[in-house]
Amino acid sequence: MKTLKTDLLVIGAGSGGLSVAAGAVQMGAKVVLLEGHKMGGDCLNFGCVPSKALLASSKAAYHQSHTEAFGIANVVPKIDYGAAKEHVADVIAQIEPVDSQERFEDLGVHVIREYGRFISKTEVEAGDTAITARRIVIATGSSPFVPPIPGLENVPYETNETLFELREHPKHLLIIGGGPIGMEMAQAHRRLGSEVTVIEGATALGNDDPELTAIVLEKLRGEGIEIAENALATNISKSGETITVEAKDGRRFQGTHLLMAVGRKPNIDKLNLDAAGIETNKRGIVANDQLKTSNKRVYAIGDVAGGLQFTHVAGYHAGLIIRSALLGLPAKQRTGHIPWATYTDPELAQVGLKETDARALYGDRLEVARFEYHHNDRAITERKTTGLIKVMVYKGKPVGASIVGAQAGELISLWSMVIANGLKMKHVAAMVAPYPTIGEINKRATGVYFSPKLFENPTLKRAVRFVQNWLP
């Protein structure tokens, strides 16, 4: 067996692992990167990129049949599902070179296309090579969790890892799971001509603000998507071309294709973590706020670390690893400024505390600034007036923001910056947004917050009258 010694060993070439490897090697460290599957990981190949590409196709189809309000005759789109999937493949192909083995080898990273397996606390075996490293970063991500529902073993089904290879247009798509993946794919397929039923065991989009979620669900139901909540799937069967999902309460749902979108599981099975003395739990690898595992030489980042499962979180973790593992500087993760978004139409975005959580923490001391999209001129011009922003404020500082509506995923970034840097509402109020833009919604939320303090303040009114009487 060959042996290698390196400064940093990165296991997993998803977004987090690639960011660590690229940053570390360009700062002068010797880096070995292991990847037993596809470079770019889940996000590029099975997740963020292909799902947003398919959503783009579905939006194009939807817009063709909803132009009458703009003075343009509606048309019935001619949908080629296979061609839409080729669009998805082309998008992936355009991004692939950035994540490719060749690019990282050109940067100076030693790339080994094998899975990694610990053989001691400081050694990892990959194929015919044993690697010893000063520091090791586990960035193996997550994969679809498929629950052991009776009958499922006899029924063909898709996950996000297979869906984008499907070229046969689903006549009626059944989706088990009403989280972000399930709801995005539900709307995409409905707009591409499929009948769609979402079967959710609890509440659809249950991790987001219920008031804002209701707006999204109303829109999706209005487009013809059946969303069955509190429908825990207990049996799945197939007869001929028909798949049947039976819920605990006796409800039955039938379709031609099945997508499992109930959650994710950490990719740890191949790692032999016991040999490295690394503690795990049901969420993944146990890591502290410095992202260190129970083995002080080993870090865990991204989905496998058991926290928020978003590509941008893995990227954020990568920056902390560069600071800690390479430079020996203190670096602790925070989560209060981490945003997330669901890219349905309308979009749904969140950062910090939701209103219910903020009220539980701050009680009557909490202030909530609300502004609705239908007061925004740009939203009116583009017929995108369905939406709402809520900013949770404590002692003048935003502690959370929830947005539903057009470009919510773009708007939320401002509030992430504000919370990350401990800024106050007055700092956002000082911003000047170009007119007319959707971005003015953020600014107008501060106007709602300050208006009572300025226009309903009798002391201030008396002061203004005094100054006006004093001025020549």
Q: Which residues are annotated as a binding site for FAD?
A: 52, 116, 140-142, 303
Q: Mind spelling out the 3-state secondary structure of the chain? A: CEEEEEEEEEECCCHHHHHHHHHHHHCCCCEEEECCCCCCHHHHHCCHHHHHHHHHHHHHHHHHCCCHHHCCCCCCCCCCHHHHHHHHHHHHHHHHHHHCHHHHHHHCCEEECCCCEECCCCEEEECCEEEEEEEEEECCCEEECCCCCCCHHHCCCECCCCHHHCCCCCCEEEEECCCHHHHHHHHHHHHCCCEEEEECCCCCCCCCCHHHHHHHHHHHHHCCCEEECCCCEEEEEEECCEEEEEECCCCEEEECEEEECCCEEECCCCCCHHHHCCCEECCEECCCCCCECCCCCEEECHHHHCCCCCHHHHHHHHHHHHHHHHCCCCCCCCCCCCEEEECCCCEEEEEECCHHHHHHHHHHHEEEEEEEHHHCHHHHHCCCCCCEEEEEEECCEEEEEEEEECCHHHHHHHHHHHHHCCCCHHHHHCCCCCCCCCCHHHHHHHHHHHHHHHHCCHHHHHHHHHHHHHCC
Residues tagged in the binding site annotation for NAD(+):
177-184, 200, 263
In which residue are the tokens 């007119």 written? 435
Residues tagged in the binding site annotation:
52, 116, 140-142, 177-184, 200, 263, 303
